[in-house]
């Protein structure tokens, strides 16, 4: 029982973790992309479609990443080149993504999908309890942890990471020092899109290997909340993602023990928990002000 619960928590947390770590980099560069949900759902449908047509899960994952990046490039062009309002443009990206995914996915409804294979590590996977939980996951679970470590290292241990953070904290100074604010932000936005696409692929190729319309069900928005929860620190995203993963599988396991609670109340818990967490974090001004990128969401037009 405990083992099964842990396994479902990991699968529920992984897409949140991947999408949130991507958005964290975007926000560290000073851009607020509210379109995570739209990029994620496009990743889910494109990943499913390509895996279904080619029979290759790997190709599906690659296509999903490309789809997420294409969506984010659209966002990046509007927000960075045409200096449109970031909130409204992010919303537009979500509305467009949900629409397009519905159109593309219509042919794939009800078709059984392809599940990414679980990795088998000789020796380690056979250890009782620890083996199945930690060493028999699909590749994306490990990639999600690798991503967190890589992002943490990049942001705080490399020169380019420092530049990216400086662009997010003070784009005027970064520009004056000769850094191309727009180019750096565009790269960050593309990385965020790739992560959101990957998270979408996880939804349709591992979490529930099928295509259901609107299957991301607000996870892109929860990922955005996780970035706030983490106060823009990569390692804290892991804690947040697994906490939310745990909350979102409550529904599943409550049915097994036959609790007399309306299923709708249990389904709404992740959303209510998001609100609660946002309130707790934002009420603590010290925590939020220290790490919030100072230029988050602010438009930048280089003066010439």
Partner 1 sequence: MRVELVKRKERSRKMALLSPLIAVGLTAIAAGIIFSISGHNPLSGLYKFFIEPLTQEWSFNATIAKATPLILIACGLSVCYLSNNWNIGAEGQFIVGALFGSALPILMPEFENAATLPLMMVFGMIGGALWALIPALLKTRFNTNEILTSLMLVYVASLLLDYLVRGPWRDPGGYNFPESALFSDAATLSTIPGTSISFAAPITLIVAIVLAVVLGKTLKGFEIRVMGESPRAGGFAGFSARKLTLFSFATAGALAGLAGTMEVSGALNQLLPTISPGYGFTAIIVAFLGRLNPFGIIVAGFVLALSYIGGEAVQSAMGVSNKIASVIQGLLLFFVLACDTLILYRVRFVGQRGSAGEASHV
Residues in the chain: 304
Q: How far apart are CA 108 and CA 144, in angstroms?
A: 27
Of positions 44, 64, 92, 249, contacts partner 1 by CB under 8 A: 92
Number of helices followed by number of strands (H, E) in the chain? 14, 0
Nearest CB to partner 1, comparing residues 103 and 294: 103
Contact by Cβ (8 Å): 151, 250: no
Q: Which residues contact 250 (CB under 8 A, 6 or more apart)?
A: 266, 269
Of positions 12, 17, 18, 34, contacts partner 1 by CB under 8 A: 34
Q: Which DSSP string do the residues of 188-251 spell out, in sequence order?
A: HHHHHHHHHHHHHHHIIIIISSS--TTTTTTHHHHHHHHHHHTTT-HHHHHHHHHHHHHHHTHH
Of positions 177, 252, 265, 287, contacts partner 1 by CB under 8 A: 265
Nearest CB to partner 1, comparing residues 106 and 126: 106
- The least CB distance from residue 3 to partner 1, in Å, is 30
159 binds partner 1 (CB under 8 A): no
214 binds partner 1 (CB under 8 A): no
278 binds partner 1 (CB under 8 A): yes
283 binds partner 1 (CB under 8 A): yes
What distance lies between CA 301 and its chain's CA centroid? 28
Contact by Cβ (8 Å): 15, 198: no
Of positions 29, 52, 72, 89, contacts partner 1 by CB under 8 A: 89
21 binds partner 1 (CB under 8 A): no
Of positions 110, 123, 178, 262, contacts partner 1 by CB under 8 A: 262
Task: Give contact residues for partner 1 (rule: CB under 8 A).
Answer: 34, 74, 78, 81-85, 87-89, 91-93, 95-100, 102-103, 106, 217-218, 221, 224-225, 228, 262, 264-265, 267-268, 271-272, 274-275, 278-279, 282-283, 285, 288, 301, 304
């Amino acid at each position: 029982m405990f083992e099964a619960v842990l396994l479902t928590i990991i699968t529920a947390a992984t897409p949140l973790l991947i999408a949130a770590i991507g958005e964290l980099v975007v926000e560290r560069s000073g851009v607020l992309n509210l379109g995570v949900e739209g990029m994620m759902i496009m990743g889910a449908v494109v990943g499913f479609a390509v895996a279904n047509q080619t029979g290759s899960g790997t190709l599906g994952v690659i296509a999903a990443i490309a789809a997420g990046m294409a969506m984010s490039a659209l966002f990046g062009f509007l927000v960075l080149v045409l200096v449109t309002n970031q909130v409204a443009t992010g919303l537009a990206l979500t509305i467009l993504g949900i629409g397009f995914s519905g159109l593309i996915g219509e042919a794939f409804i009800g078709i059984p999908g392809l599940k990414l294979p679980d990795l088998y590590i000789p020796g380690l996977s056979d250890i009782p309890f620890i083996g199945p939980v930690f060493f028999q996951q699909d590749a994306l679970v490990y990639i999600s942890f690798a991503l967190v470590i890589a992002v943490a290292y990049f942001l705080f241990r490399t020169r380019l990471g420092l530049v990216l953070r400086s662009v997010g904290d003070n784009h005027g100074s970064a520009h004056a020092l000769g850094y191309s604010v727009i180019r750096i932000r565009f790269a960050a936005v593309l990385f965020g899109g790739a992560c959101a696409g990957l998270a979408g692929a996880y939804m349709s190729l591992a979490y529930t290997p099928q295509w259901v319309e609107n299957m991301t069900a607000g996870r892109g928005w929860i990922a955005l909340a996780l970035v706030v929860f983490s106060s823009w620190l990569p390692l804290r995203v892991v804690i947040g993602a697994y906490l939310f993963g745990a909350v979102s599988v409550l529904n599943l396991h409550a049915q097994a023990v036959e609790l007399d609670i309306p299923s709708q109340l249990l389904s709404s818990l992740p959303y209510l928990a998001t609100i609660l967490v946002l309130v707790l974090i934002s009420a603590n001004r010290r925590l939020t002000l220290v790490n919030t990128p100072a230029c988050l969401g602010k438009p930048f037009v280089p003066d010439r």
